[in-house]
Amino acid sequence: MGVAGKHFPPHVKTNPGAPRDNAAPSLPDADERVRKESKFGHLLNRPEFAAISGAVLVFLVFALSAGSSGMFNLDGVMNWSQVSAYLGILSVGACLLMIAGEFDLSIGSMIGFAGMMVAIPSVYFHWPISLAILFAFAGSMLLGALNGYLVMRTRLPSFIVTLAFLFILRGLTLALSIMFADRTIVSGVGDLAQQDWLANTLFHGVAFHGLFLMLAHHGIGTLLDNGHALVPGIPKVILWWLALAAICAFVLAKTRAGNWILAVGGDANAAKNVGVPVRRVKISLFVLTAFCSCLFAVLQVCDIGSAAADRGLQKEFEAIIAAVIGGTLLTGGYGSVIGACFGALIFGVVQIGITYTNVSSDWFRVFLGVMLLIAVLFNHYVRRRVAQS
């Protein structure tokens, strides 16, 4: 049937713009905003990719150069794991603060000062060491809040504010140790820690002692002549590191607070305009870095049995290096807690592993600097690649 009673042959179009009956309909153009990404490209965009790759490479190098030296025996594993754990605790806090676009250069000085806040009250004022530990955590976190408040209130770069606190806290630590002990070391804390339930349970010694002794009796590990295991257990600093890293990684990846941290580091003004509490987020992260520094100090004081004015020297730079190796950008807005932990692991493996080889330990700092440079260049490449995609 045609139009208005007229009949048209099948091959005649009634509408020039209409497609032929037997022609396949044209497919819509692909949306240029949606593109497929290769699996390798996806991995390359992950902030922790470089740190994990670097860790694998470091393990391969030491497996070839020091595999038969005992580095990967149980006692060797505990040695470099413990070094990694101490730095890992600091790197977790430093990583989150850097993702938010700030730095804390007082981390190392806070370690020495927090150690004195534990040692001096317990040794000279005869406080229970558990009370001294709580006092140290409270004091450190208040100082962290003060750091964050000054940065937000004055709008000065956190580099400058925390650099000032680096000198203030280091000077106070030295002055207090000389005032009370007439030297830079305050000792006698180890016995007090063993006798205190809180300190002995959470911060002193090792965990799973009975399990490791049983394993040694069954040939897994070394059993000494006196009946004790060469490796008595897992140092508690490792358990603290794993727990802190797991909690912070979950917060960053799966919670609203984690989104806030990333948003604040990406563009603080834009984040504030959409309702993100920028000031509260940043001050909280300064408090977290102070908590991590105090935790480092408490674990060290309880294990070594003393506090020293030079503890934590240059640890702020090592924590920043571990975070950068782990994929955290110096400009903020991008990073990974897991990557920072792998950066700390690389640090510990190299620092201890180099003693198992014939290489002079003087080369350790050279290696650390090279790793930092490589990490910065790789992160810069990834950032440009993400920006162009």
Instruction: Give domain limits for the chain.
Output: 49-57+70-384
Instruction: Report how far residue 207's alpha carbon sits from residue 197's, in angstroms, rounded to the nearest whole number.
Output: 14
The string of pLDDT tens digits covering residues 228-279 is 888 899 999 999 999 999 999 999 999 999 999 999 999 999 999 999 999 9
pLDDT band at residue 5 under the 50/70/90 scheme: very low
Confidence (pLDDT) at 372: 76
Nearest Cα neighbor of 199 from 269, 131, 105 is: 131
Confidence (pLDDT) at 1: 46
- Helices and strands of the chain, counted as H and E runs: 16, 4
pLDDT band at residue 36 under the 50/70/90 scheme: low
Confidence (pLDDT) at 61: 86
Confidence (pLDDT) at 359: 77
* pLDDT over 90 at 222, yes or no: no
Give the lowest-confidence range in 163-167, 198-202, 249-253, 372-376: 372-376
Nearest Cα neighbor of 289 from 142, 144, 114 is: 144
* CATH class belonging to 49-57+70-384: mainly alpha
Residue 197: which region, alpha, beta or left (left: phi > 0; alpha: psi -120 to 50)? alpha
Confidence (pLDDT) at 37: 58
Q: What is the mean pLDDT of residues 317-339?
A: 91
User: Is residue 77 classed as helix, strand or coil in its secondary structure?
Assistant: helix
Residues 94/319, Cβ–Cβ less than 8 Å: yes
Residue 276: which region, alpha, beta or left (left: phi > 0; alpha: psi -120 to 50)? beta
Instruction: Report how far residue 131's alpha carbon sits from residue 242's, in angstroms, rounded to the nearest whole number.
Output: 25
End-to-end Cα, the chain, rounded Å: 54
Confidence (pLDDT) at 54: 84
Percent of the chain with pLDDT over 70: 86
Give the lowest-confidence range in 84-93, 157-166, 230-239, 361-370: 361-370
pLDDT band at residue 202 under the 50/70/90 scheme: very high
Give, in degrees to the nearest 5, the angle at Cα 131 between 81 and 172.
Answer: 75
Q: Check residues 278 and 221 and name the one with the higher pLDDT.
A: 278
Q: What is the mean pLDDT of residues 168-187?
A: 94
For tokens 């934590």, the residue is 312
